[in-house]
Amino acid sequence: MTVEDQIRKNKRDTAFVCIFMLILLFAVIFVFGFALGFPPIFSMAIGLPLSVIYVLASYSFSVQSVLSAAKARPADPRRREEKLFMYKVEEMAIAAGLPVPKAYVQDSSDINAFATGKKPEDAVICVTTGALQKLNAEELEGVMGHEMSHILDRDILLATVTVGVVGAIALISEILLRSLLWGGGRGRGRNEGGGWLIIIAIAFAIFAPLFSRLAYLFISRRREYLADANGAYLTRNPEGLARALEKIKADLPDDPKGSPTVAPLYIANPFKRSLRNSVWSTHPPIDERIRRLRAM
Amino acid sequence: MIGIIILAVILVLLVISFVAYYYNKIIRLENRIDNSWAQIDVQLKRRADLIPNLVESVKGYMEHEKGVLENVTKARSALMNAGTPRDNIKANNQLTSALKTLFAVAENYPTLKANENFLQLQDELTHTEDKISYARQHYNDSVLAFNNAIETFPGRTFARRMGKKEKQMLEIPEEARETPKVSF
């Protein structure tokens, strides 16, 4: 499979997941309205534009909201470390044949990095100050290659949009569940035989957030391996990224910073060392990633 | 009757989109090669522009290393006068090794190594050098994608009609291919 085929496949996946998320969001709003006793047409009239607007809004404001959640600032070329980081971003952009992303820095002693943006033209790569201090040039290059291939493969759009939609589905389901359990008398009183509908609504409220999250995580984990491989192809040096991942693994964050919302975007989950594989991990286990890189 | 017409229209549309897809793909990949050559060219010029500043800032310190500086200047003018891509790459390789010698010699001059201006130029030249090698790598990646597209079926049939021939990759010098060794 060439890089072009891969990009096309990823774009298709992204569109598929966006539509899936849209339908799920719509369904949650619909069931919510239904359980509260609104007529289906009314829920549909509210739910459809609301979910479309929400997905469009997470699309338009995604970059700014991710950057402010991470408390990132533009890299300062007057500091040598940050200037060298900007240089690396530019070099990797040339290797990938992409426009140069904006370079951002997050003040944190952890070693981490993420890429965000809607398309390669407005992409941002952000690293922590810890990464700039603790990684050498070769390792930083490996990390930049990984982030650049997230941009090249159009993973950033999917990640940024779903981070928003998954959050919304969780929030709406939570409200639905609470109102069904404590304030749901209205629906029951109105319709004597509709008990099973309430059960479906409750089940839906429980499972919708799980489904949306699992669907996203499944794809996100696969994309991490892909970004590792493509990143190593860009730098022609898998060892650099492998060593960077080793340092990340050894550098256990004792005081994790940043927002959990942004966690799936990072090169490695900042909240725990992903040593074991689990359906709930945003990233594959680090040891397995290092093993695959060394086997290239 | 109407069924046959609809079927024929669908078939024609399919054929047209098939042809358009491969035509556009080949053109797009060829443009990418030109574009990545332009990128190499930009970086080579940038590098040549930085050299006089470097020579200026080093001259005062390296009284006894005239030969080293001369080699750098000579390689630079060869790069400025290079006409063909092949000459360009050759002159650039010469410049790379001349600069490498210069930076190695600079290690013996502590005052020079502490000079802010020199350090900045050294950073920037290393950066430009890296950019050149990545631009070359991207050029070769682009050539590979183009060659693959026009040598495999069905792109092959279109490429013949369009008169496209496979392109040559740039040879990357041995020392540029090595990744720097790091010790911990």
Q: Kindly report the number of other CB atoms within 10 A of residue B151's CB atom.
A: 11
Confidence of residue B69 (pLDDT cuts 50, 70, 90): confident
How are beta strands A102-106 and A124-128 bridged, if at all? parallel
Q: Is the pLDDT assigned to residue B182 strictly greater than 60? A: no
Alpha helix (H) ranges present in A126-266?
A: 129-134, 137-152, 155-182, 185-190, 195-235, 238-250
- B60 lies in some domain: yes
- B100 lies in some domain: yes
- B44 lies in some domain: yes
Please, which residues have CB within 8 angstroms of residue A37's CB and are 6 or more apart in sequence?
A186, A187, A190
- B78 lies in some domain: yes
Q: Kindly report the number of other CB atoms within 10 A of residue B11's CB atom.
A: 10
What is the rounded CA–CA span in Å between residue A102 and residue A89? 8
In B, what residues contact A, Cβ < 8 A? 32, 35-36, 39, 43, 123, 127, 130-131, 134-135, 137-138, 141-142, 145, 148, 179-180, 182
- List the beta strands (DSSP E) in chain B: none
Q: Is the pLDDT assigned to residue B50 strictly greater than 60? A: yes
Task: For residue A202, give both structure tokens.
Answer: 């409750």
- B19 lies in some domain: no
Which domains occur in chain A, in start order?
3-68+158-212 (no CATH), 71-155+219-294 (3.30.2010.10)
Note the residue count of chain B.
184
Sheet containing A113-116, strands listed edge to edge, beginning at the edge strand earlier in sequence: A72-74, A102-106, A124-128, A113-116
- B11 lies in some domain: no
Element (H, E) at A126: strand A124-128
Using a CB–CB cutoff of 8 Å, tell me whether A246 touches chain B.
no
Higher pLDDT, A253 or B176: A253
pTM (predicted TM-score): 0.78
Q: What's the angle, vertex CA A28, arms to CA A23 and CA A34, rounded to 5? A: 120
Q: The domain spanning residue B61 has which CATH number? A: 1.20.1440.20
pLDDT 10s digits, B70-114: 888 888 888 888 777 778 878 888 888 888 888 888 888 888 888
- B80 lies in some domain: yes
Higher pLDDT, B183 or A276: A276
Contact (CB, 8 A) for A112 and A146: no
Instruction: Compute the count of residue pairs across chains A and B with CB atoms less than 8 Å apart.
Output: 46
| Domain limits for position B43 | 28-173
Q: Report the pLDDT value the prediction gives residue A125, as an integer from 0 to 100.
A: 95
What is the rounded CA–CA span in Å between residue B105 and residue B72? 13
Contact (CB, 8 A) for B89 and B75: no
Query: How many domains does one find in chain B?
Result: 1
CB contact under 8 A, B134 and A84: no
Which chain B residues contact residue A7 at CB under 8 A? Answer: none
- Please give chain A's pLDDT, 296 residues, in tens: 566 676 777 777 777 777 877 787 777 777 777 777 777 787 778 777 877 787 777 677 778 878 888 889 999 999 999 999 999 999 999 999 999 999 999 998 888 899 988 788 989 999 999 999 999 999 999 999 999 999 988 888 777 767 666 777 777 777 777 777 765 545 444 444 456 667 777 777 777 777 777 777 776 777 888 889 989 999 999 999 999 999 988 876 555 555 555 666 777 766 554 444 555 566 778 888 898 898 87
Which chain A residues contact residue B41 at CB under 8 A? Answer: none
What is the rounded CA–CA span in Å between residue A96 and residue A147? 11
